[in-house]
Amino acid sequence: MSDSAKTECKDPAGHWLHICSLRKEGKDEQAKDLMDDPGHRCLNCNAVAKESKNLCNPSPFARA
Residue 40 burial (CB count, 10 A): 19
**pTM, rounded to two decimals:** 0.83
Query: How does pLDDT run along the chain (64 residues), one tens digit per residue?
Result: 444 445 689 999 999 999 999 999 999 999 999 999 999 999 999 999 999 999 999 999 986 6
Residue 28 one-letter amino acid: D
Look at the chain and report how many structural domains it folds into: 1
- Containing structural domain, residue 24: 3-60
Q: How many C-beta neighbours within 10 Å does residue 22 have? A: 20
Which is nearest to 15 in space by CA: 57, 62, 59, 49? Answer: 57
What pLDDT, on the 0 to 100 scale, is given for residue 62? Answer: 80
How far is residue 18's CA from residue 2's CA, in Å, rounded to a whole number? 22
Q: What is the pLDDT of residue 32?
A: 96
